Amino acid sequence: MRRDGWLFPACQALHFIGMSLLFGAIGLVDLRVLGFFKSIPIPAVLKLIPIAIAGFALNLSTGVAFLSSNPYQYWPSPMFKLKMAVIVWAGVNALYFTFAEHRKLAHVGADFEPDFQSRVLAGTSIVFWLIVILAGRLLPTFEGSTSFLDF
Amino acid sequence: MEFLKWLEHTGIGEWIRTDSFGFPLILCAHSIGLAGVVGIVYMLSFRVLGYSKGIPIAVFERIFYIAWAAFILNAVSGVLLFISNATHLIVNWTFLLKLILIAAGGISLWALWSALMGGPERTTPQGMVTRRGKALAVLCLVFWTGAIVSGRYIAFTMAEAKEKELMDSTSVSTKAPDGAKSGAPR
């Protein structure tokens, strides 16, 4: 991957496609749970979750490829640590939503509205994924630095 | 070319190219916009192609407000990025390809939406999508994905072009950091 000059941008392009899949799907789910676009029944919007998972899997694999191509460049970077921490946090958030809320929501009628707890989860989810995009975009800026104060 | 050179050396052009926050900041805006525009185009296309049929197609009329906001964000940040590197970008084939793909993506999205709103989907939310609609949805997926890929390659072909330029100019012996070539003060 380091040697072939075209492979790296190809993986980056895939990473951006995965990002669009993940953010497009999870964004709509979150917005719907938050109470926007009420003409979409809750069970219907939840069917988008596998698209989000597919996008995440694509980005996990290309992400691991970036890391293995140059681990020393990424590992010490504060932005890399921030991105990973927020992904883990967003992941826990998503898992909690899936196991605690999704199971309830999947079997409800078309006119069901989510409770306050679900809305909080949806709100944090959309904010977390936005932070992940920003932190990822800022990775090259903090390349070679070990602190946010020094780059 | 003179005009492009002037653009590059306007205050905003210099700031984006040379300030350590300028370029990353604009790129941040550009990638958020990308996720918004392409994310929504993807979801509409999947729905049209038969995924999650419980989502009424007409609701995308309102979701498009978000897509438009994201598109405007990217048009503005895109123009700013262009200003900062105008003379290089205008001869960069990946950049020109990206513009063509965005235009093609926009036209197919518009055609798809007209087909959907003129067809049976308008009155029956769960209704069948015509074959023409599905074909246009595939075109949308292809063009917008192509726009991402070509956009991603711009950074790459630009770095190559600048490196070549440095090698060609004999006066510069060491590799200057990206953007610092113009010698503009920080």
List, for residues A115-139, the tens digit of each pLDDT value. 888 899 999 999 999 999 999 999 9
**Per-residue pLDDT at A55:** 96
Within-domain flag for A21: yes
Residue of chain B nearest A32, judged by CA positions? B63
**Does B152 touch chain A if contact means CB atoms closer than 8 Å?**
yes
H runs (alpha helix) in chain B? 2-8, 11-18, 22-48, 60-84, 86-89, 93-118, 131-168
Find chain A residues with C-beta within 8 A of B27's C-beta: 137
pLDDT digits 0-9 by tens, A37-73:
999 988 899 999 999 999 999 999 999 999 999 898 8
**Per-residue pLDDT at A25:** 96
**Per-residue pLDDT at B6:** 87
Residue of chain A nearest B56, judged by CA positions? A40
Find chain A residues with C-beta within 8 A of B56's C-beta: 39-40
Within-domain flag for A147: no
Taking CB atoms and an 8 Å limit, are A41 and B62 in contact across chains?
Answer: no
Banded pLDDT at A3 (limits 50, 70, 90): confident
**Per-residue pLDDT at B119:** 64
Closest approach of A67 to chain B, Cα-based (Å): 18
Find chain A residues with C-beta within 8 A of B24's C-beta: 137-138, 140-141
Closest approach of A122 to chain B, Cα-based (Å): 17
**What is the pTM for the complete model shown?**
0.88
Compare B12 and A100 and report the one with higher pLDDT: B12
Taking CB atoms and an 8 Å limit, are B55 and A44 in contact across chains?
Answer: yes
Taking CB atoms and an 8 Å limit, are A16 and B39 in contact across chains?
Answer: no
Torsion sign, CA atoms A82, A47, A57, A59:
negative
Taking CB atoms and an 8 Å limit, are A37 and B145 in contact across chains?
Answer: no
Within-domain flag for A1: no
Find chain B residues with C-beta within 8 A of A20's C-beta: 34-35, 38-39, 42, 148
Percentage of residues of chain A with pLDDT beyond 70: 93
| CA–CA separation, B150 and B20 (whole Å) | 25
Residue B44 Cα distances to A24, B36, B47, B61, B62, angstroms? 10, 12, 5, 10, 12
**Per-residue pLDDT at B184:** 34
**Per-residue pLDDT at A68:** 92
Residues 6+ apart with CB under 8 A from B123: none
Within-domain flag for A94: yes
CB of A28 within 8 A of CB of A45? yes
Percentage of residues of chain B with pLDDT beyond 90: 55
**Per-residue pLDDT at A101:** 73
Q: What is the mean pLDDT of chain B?
A: 86
Domain containing A77 equals 7-142
**Per-residue pLDDT at B126:** 53
pLDDT digits 0-9 by tens, B100-113:
999 999 999 999 99
Q: What is the mean pLDDT of residues B155-161?
A: 88
The amino acid present at A148, given as its one-letter code, is: F
pLDDT digits 0-9 by tens, B24-83:
999 999 999 999 999 999 999 999 999 988 899 989 999 999 999 999 999 999 999 999
Closest approach of B174 to chain A, Cα-based (Å): 20
Q: What is the mean pLDDT of residues A101-121?
A: 77
Among A6, A43, A133, the residue with its CB nearest the CB of B31 is A133
Among B31, B53, B55, the residue with its CB nearest the CB of A137 is B31
Q: What is the mean pLDDT of chain A?
A: 88
Within-domain flag for A32: yes
Angle at A55 between CA A51 and CA A56, to 5 degrees: 115
Compare A145 and B69 and report the one with higher pLDDT: B69
Among B55, B59, B152, the residue with its CB nearest the CB of A16 is B152
Closest approach of B10 to chain A, Cα-based (Å): 23
The amino acid present at A73, given as its one-letter code, is: Q
Percentage of residues of chain B with pLDDT beyond 70: 85
Q: What is the mean pLDDT of residues B3-23?
A: 85
**Per-residue pLDDT at B182:** 40
Within-domain flag for A126: yes
User: For tokens 């984006």, what's the residue?
Assistant: B16
Low-confidence winner among A125-134, B42-51, B90-99, B153-162 (lowest mean pLDDT):
B153-162
Closest approach of A36 to chain B, Cα-based (Å): 9
Angle between helices A49-69 and A7-34 (to 10 degrees): 150
Taking CB atoms and an 8 Å limit, are A130 and B32 in contact across chains?
Answer: yes
Compare B182 and B46 and report the one with higher pLDDT: B46
Q: How many domains does chain A have?
A: 1
| CA–CA separation, A94 and A52 (whole Å) | 10
Q: Is residue B17 predicted with pLDDT exceeding 80?
A: yes
Q: Is residue B123 predicted with pLDDT exceeding 60?
A: no
Q: Is residue B180 predicted with pLDDT exceeding 60?
A: no
